[in-house]
């Protein structure tokens, strides 16, 4: 009995940790934002000026600053006057923006946005893609998600600034960031999937190290096939 009680306490602790921002985080409102421009280097050597902005707010661990609530990209399609926008907004299940933009490429008048899920909950929400990207293609009317097999192989580089929260002040002061400056800002990234666009899956071990598998349940996130966690959550809802 004592062993069983200890196990139940341990499971409860695991559930609390797994819930993360759902159980132990504080909610914050909209806390302003930043905007700037970047010159995204294209596969053919040309550049595309991208207007970027991000707002802050959402759920954050106690003692941490507000996360990015929304990412927004805006650009004029080369050879036209058409302005196209892409954004990743806040959702309650993730507690922040769902997707973090990594690259914007254009081929034959068709733009593509390469993103990564914004931390573990978003990674699970978007189906645990491997390579770990969520990719969109603009069909002339709306953005459509596509598999990596449909992304032109000419696209190889991550051509947007990655760490836009920590570098926000520098980006805003620069006003318009050149390709050379983007490369310099991204040079300390260690993850291979953030340096270039990977075409082959990461190992299962690496994926599990990045993010444990979780599924939504009754407004929270739990590990699959875990009836004890589900029971614990049901008890909290009563």
Task: For 38-58, write each residue's pLDDT tens digit.
Answer: 999 999 999 999 999 999 998
Domain edges within the chain: 26-213
Averaged pLDDT for residues 119-148: 96
- pLDDT, position 64: 72
Strand 68-76 relative to strand 47-56, pairing: antiparallel
Calculate the alpha carbon distances from 28 to 1, 19, 58, 218 in Å. Answer: 42, 17, 5, 22
Averaged pLDDT for residues 157-185: 95
Place 2 in a pLDDT band, splitting at 50, 70 and 90. very low
d(CA 152, CA 70): 27
d(CA 96, CA 78): 32
- pLDDT, position 225: 74
- Is residue 78's pLDDT more than 70? yes
- pLDDT, position 29: 54
For residue 93 the two structure tokens come to 């299940």
Place 65 in a pLDDT band, splitting at 50, 70 and 90. confident
Averaged pLDDT for residues 212-227: 74
Place 87 in a pLDDT band, splitting at 50, 70 and 90. very high
Contact yes or no for 36/176 (Cβ under 8 A): yes
pTM summary value: 0.83
- pLDDT, position 27: 47
Task: For 184-198, write each residue's pLDDT tens digit.
Answer: 999 999 999 999 999
Averaged pLDDT for residues 153-174: 95
Worst-scoring range by mean pLDDT, 53-62, 65-74, 122-131, 157-166?
A: 53-62
Q: What angle do CA 224, 225, 229 make, to 5 degrees?
A: 85
């Amino acid at each position: 009995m004592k062993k069983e009680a200890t196990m139940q306490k341990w499971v409860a602790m695991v559930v609390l940790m797994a819930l993360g921002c759902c159980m132990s985080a504080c909610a914050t409102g909209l806390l302003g934002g930043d905007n700037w421009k970047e010159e995204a280097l294209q596969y053919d050597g040309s550049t595309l000026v991208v207007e970027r902005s991000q707002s802050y707010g959402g759920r954050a661990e106690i003692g941490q600053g507000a996360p990015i609530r929304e990412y927004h990209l805006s650009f004029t399609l080369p050879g036209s006057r058409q302005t196209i926008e892409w954004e990743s907004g806040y959702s309650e299940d993730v507690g922040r923006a769902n997707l973090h933009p990594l690259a914007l490429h254009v081929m034959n008048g068709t733009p593509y946005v390469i993103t990564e899920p914004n931390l573990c909950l978003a990674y699970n929400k978007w189906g645990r893609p491997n390579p770990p990207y969520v990719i969109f293609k603009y069909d002339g009317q709306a953005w459509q998600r596509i598999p990596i097999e449909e992304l032109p192989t000419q696209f190889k580089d991550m051509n947007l600034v990655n760490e836009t929260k920590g570098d926000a002040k520098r980006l805003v002061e620069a006003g318009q960031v050149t390709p050379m400056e983007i490369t310099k800002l991204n040079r300390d990234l260690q993850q291979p999937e953030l340096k270039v666009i990977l075409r082959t899956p990461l190992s299962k071990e690496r994926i599990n190290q990045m993010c444990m598998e979780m599924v939504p349940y009754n407004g929270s996130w739990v590990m699959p096939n875990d009836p004890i966690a589900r029971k614990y959550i049901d008890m909290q809802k009563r």
